[in-house]
Amino acid sequence: MGKRVALVLAGCGVFDGSEVHEASAALVHLSRGGAQVRIFAPNIEQMHVVDHFRGSPTEEKRNVLVESARLARGNIEDLAELKVGEFDAVIFPGGFGVAKNLCSWAVDGKNCSVNELVKSTLQAFHSAKKPIGLCCISPVLAAKVFPGCEVTVGYDKNVDGRFPDAETASAIAELGCKHICKDVTESHVDATNKIVTTCAFMCKAPLHEIFDGIGTMVAEVLKLS
- Is 136 in the active site? yes
H helices within the chain, ranges in order?
Answer: 20-32, 64-71, 96-97, 105-108, 116-127, 139-145, 167-174, 207-224
Q: Which of 112, 136, 199, 203 is catalytic?
A: 136
Identify the CA nearest to 14 among candidates 64, 42, 45, 52.
52
| Element housing 70 (H / E) | helix 64-71
Contact indicator for 80, 121 with CB cutoff of 8 Å: no
Identify the CA nearest to 38 among candidates 1, 12, 66, 73.
73
Contact indicator for 29, 219 with CB cutoff of 8 Å: yes
Catalytic residues: 136
